Structure 1
């Protein structure tokens, strides 16, 4: 299929044709791989990063705050997706292949849905920004995956570049603007859960030979052990959301 000349007065369309043109020139196996990654793979990778972040957060001195920040990630994504419902209806933008011929569309069933903003881009960036506030290393990795998600959506021919940028902006705004309100609720909730039988979800269990056991035995063990535990608990929170 020959790609028609893009409208040089429309950078949004120019970039879409440039990225999607790679799909036309690529082997079928690569197109299938990118389609799977753009539709499912990146979201699964972000979920795995969230799991790793949770396992690490449980071992931090500020575990309830860190876990609350991770819990905010899926909630923020859900809020952003709900906010996108009226936005999509108001903008009422068809998928790019509906109005422009010559695009290589790699997934089916998208014709009847809105193009602006990209749901996949919104979800990916929402997780990335929320994760960055808790664990910067994992957040950077998630941010790269979010950018790759945007590229894949254009490669697949289902979104304009501005759909992707709009999704990134929406997710970032929701995560950052609503984080103080969310954390005001989630941090006390995580502290409360930490005092129940579900405490291992919030803080990793400590070794059986330390902690309170050391305080009940000899004086030297009791004195050094308890003071060390207090100092660990009193370390300043590592999470940016704790401020």
Structure 2
């Protein structure tokens, strides 16, 4: 089933215009860089939020890395051969087939994409409309260029997302405590990294006193 779908997708890929094939080849790597940029933006935006959100923003890229590590460990256990070598009669892959020993299941690119998409939603919920399509396109592109089976990328997406969410949820508490400590440390670097936190409302008595002094002045 997966081999037949792989043949259908790679045959379709060879029938697309050259610019589509080039875009797919570029996207398999460029998408990872875009996710990195989104992590930085999410962290910067959450610096003014409470320490819980700062902790989630810091843990999001680490959770993505954790998803990749778990995927890589599974690869070394399952040792599935790449379809660009194993599927008879399939169209040639659009990119070089990875060397023997760089196994196929699950797809590391898809695991990273799924992890990044899920982790970013924890940081920045309204970005789901961008991160999920990005992850799906990245996973599809790995089959499109001929280096993964469809089941490789499906498993990678799910595995990465689950591992990232689990990682962030388990470590949010300790990381929140660390962010609180950094904010109260008095260190300029620590305060910059952890952010200033939400603005504290001025007490009513102090505000009235300041307003009265301003009127007298």
TM-score normalised by length of structure 1 = 0.75
Structure 1: distance between partners of 2:197 and 2:109 = 36
Moved runs in structure 1, 4+ residues, more than 3 A? 204-207, 215-218
1:42-191 → structure 2 map (5 Å cutoff): 42-60=31-49, 62=50, 64-100=51-87, 101-108=89-96, 110-112=98-100, 113-191=102-180
CA distance in 2, matches of 1:138, 1:26: 30
1:15 Cα deviation from its structure 2 partner: 2.2
Cα deviation per residue 1:86-118 (whole Å; 9 max; x = unaligned)? 311221101101111323312225132110111
Counterpart of 2:119 in 1: which secondary structure?
Answer: helix
> Which deviates more from structure 2 when the two are superposed, residues 154-163 or residues 135-144?
135-144
Which residue of the partner structure matches residue 215 of structure 2?
Answer: none
The alpha-carbon distance between structure 1 residues 220 and 128, as it changes in their structure 2 partners (threshold 3 A), is: same
Structure 1 13/32 Cα, relative in aligned 2: closer, same or farther at 3 Å?
same
Q: Does 1:203 align with 2:195?
A: yes
Q: Does residue 17 in structure 1 map to residue 4 in structure 2? A: no
**Contact 2:183–2:196 (CA under 8 A) maintained in structure 1:** no
Q: Would you say the 8 A contact 1:69–1:131 is kept in 2?
A: no
Out of 181, 188, 198, the residue aligned to residue 192 of structure 1 is 181
| Structure with the higher fraction of residues in helix conformation | 2
Give the C-alpha shift of residue 22 in structure 1: 2.4
Deviation of residue 221 (structure 1)?
4.3
Contact 1:95/1:114 (8 A) holds in 2: yes
1:65 deviates by 1.5
Q: Distance in 1 between matches of 2:73 and 2:210?
A: 65
Give the alignment's Cα RMSD to 1 decimal: 2.6
Distance 2:75 2:141 in 1: 20
Q: Tell me how far apart the structure 1 counterparts of residues 171 and 207 of structure 2 sit (CA, whole Å).
A: 42
CA distance in 2, matches of 1:83, 1:206: 36
* Structure 2 SS opposite 1:117: coil
Gaps of at least 5 residues in structure 2 are 213-217
Mapped to 1, the partners of 2:107 and 2:78 lie a distance apart of: 12
Return the alpha-carbon distance in structure 2 between the equivalents of residues 127 and 85 of structure 1: 16
Q: Name the CA shift for 1:50/1:155 in 2 (closer, same or farther; >3 Å).
A: same
Mind listing any 5+ residue stretches in structure 1 that lack a counterpart? Answer: 1-9, 223-243
